[in-house]
Amino acid sequence: MVYLDHNASSTLRACAREVMLGALAEGANASSVHGPGRRARSAVERAREQVARFAGAQGPSVVFTSGATEANALALNGAIAGAAEKGAPIRRVLVSAVEHDSVRATARALADGITVHEVPVDGDGRADIGALRTMLAGEGSALVSVMAANNETGVIQDIAAIGAIIRGAGALFHIDAVQAAGRLPIDFTDWGADYLTLSSHKIGGPQGAGALIVRPDAPLAPRIRGGGQEMRRRAGTENVAAIAGFGAATAAFAENGAEIARLGDMRDAFERALRVIAPETIIFGEGAPRLPNTSNLAIPNLSAETALIALDLDGVAVSSGSACSSGKVTPSHVLAAMGVDKALARSAIRVSFGWSNEDDDYEQAIRSIARLIARRRAA
């Protein structure tokens, strides 16, 4: 199988699998005081340091969660509850129009008394910084959530400029860095974020682990209560094996410059080859800086569904450019926000490369697409 769907879930790295098997074999509770418990605790704390180093943060700022969906919910709901407890309630939440549904749906569900605004994006999917500045000039303290890079298109936001405006307005800043992780240098401190979300399974760790990195004095009230785990910020027995695997995956990026460049070369070669066999190809977000591993494209009049099935039969796994959860393909809110025509959006295919791909993989994808185009011409 040629696996080109790393933005959905990347392949598990051997180093992650290895530490997970060790942790699963031990199987103790990280809160237990006996030897096995202490070993589980040290696996969790080692992972905390690894994740912190990876993100340019300090260990104690890392709150482990069940994944990025939970981390995004904790960021928004936890910041709002925490700010209210501190007597400085947040009145407005601003999210970009291309955020992941875990941010958009959480924002939409916020309590009455909080207004939610959507920051528009341009035709390439970059947040409109002028609009953000104007929106922030309004009354009431605000929380802004903007992703570092988009999961569908790979388009990178100008986080430095956005952060400067947010800080200038005295607002809180949450960054969903799930897709940027491992593909762009991430620096929580440099970016001036108050909250930053990571997911293990997008970087070669296991599914079911993630983290919210929280600036030490940023407001945060727990959303899950009970035990005192994660310094009272997220109760529940730690998923030791998954957290250890997450940490190991981040450590694999210690020198990731070459890996990022290799992915970029592969993606660029894929797009060049695609344009040779289908010159009418449209690549979404092409005018903006993009993650080196992501290509969201449409061959006009070739539906994504047809392409996905044909590629799958040829042993090539890609995804539809439309948000696809629970097997239901819905029109992509990301492409809609970029002003992409609905009919064209139905042709959007996302190809996302990762650490386990070799050049032969993109070549196989191109051969499969070429065969599909030839069959359609002959029909």
Rounded to an integer, what distance in angstroms lies between the CA atom of residue 246 and that of residue 175? 19
For the chain, the residue count is 379
Specify whether the CB–CB gap between 179 and 158 falls below 8 A. no
By beta-carbon proximity to ligand PMP, the closer residue of 67 and 125 is 67
311 scored as a contact of ligand PMP (CB under 6 A): no
Q: According to CB under 6 A, which one of 23, 68, 166, 186 is a site residue for ligand PMP?
A: 68
The question of whether 324 is a catalytic residue gets the answer yes
Binding mask 191-210 for ligand PMP (x = CB under 6 A): --------x----------x
Contact 377, 316 (CB under 8 A): no
Segment interacting with ligand PMP (CB under 6 A) among 66-74, 274-282, 284-292, 309-317: 66-74
Min dist. Cβ of residue 63 to ligand PMP (A): 14
Q: CB nearer to ligand PMP: give 9 or 303.
A: 9
If one asks whether residue 100 binds ligand PMP (CB under 6 A), the answer comes out as yes
Q: Rule CB under 6 A: which of 162-191 touch ligand PMP? A: 176, 178-179
What is the Cα–Cα distance from 267 to 293, expressed in whole angstroms? 6
Question: Which structure tokens are listed for 245?
Answer: 């695997």
Task: Count residues near ligand PMP (CB under 6 A).
Answer: 13
Q: Shortest distance, CB of residue 177 to ligand PMP, whole angstroms?
A: 8
Of 324, 329, 336, 370, the active-site residue reads: 324
What is the layout of strands, in order, in the sheet containing 195-199? 62-65, 210-214, 195-199, 172-176, 142-147, 92-96, 115-119
Instruction: Between 176 and 230, name the residue whose CB sits nearer to ligand PMP.
Output: 176
Determine, following the binding rule CB under 6 A, whether residue 319 of this chain makes contact with ligand PMP.
Answer: no
Distance in angstroms (rounded) separating the CA atoms of residues 196 and 148: 10
> How remote is the C-alpha of 192 from its chain's centroid?
18
Tell me which residues touch ligand PMP (CB under 6 A).
Answer: 67-69, 72, 100, 102, 147, 151, 176, 178-179, 199, 210
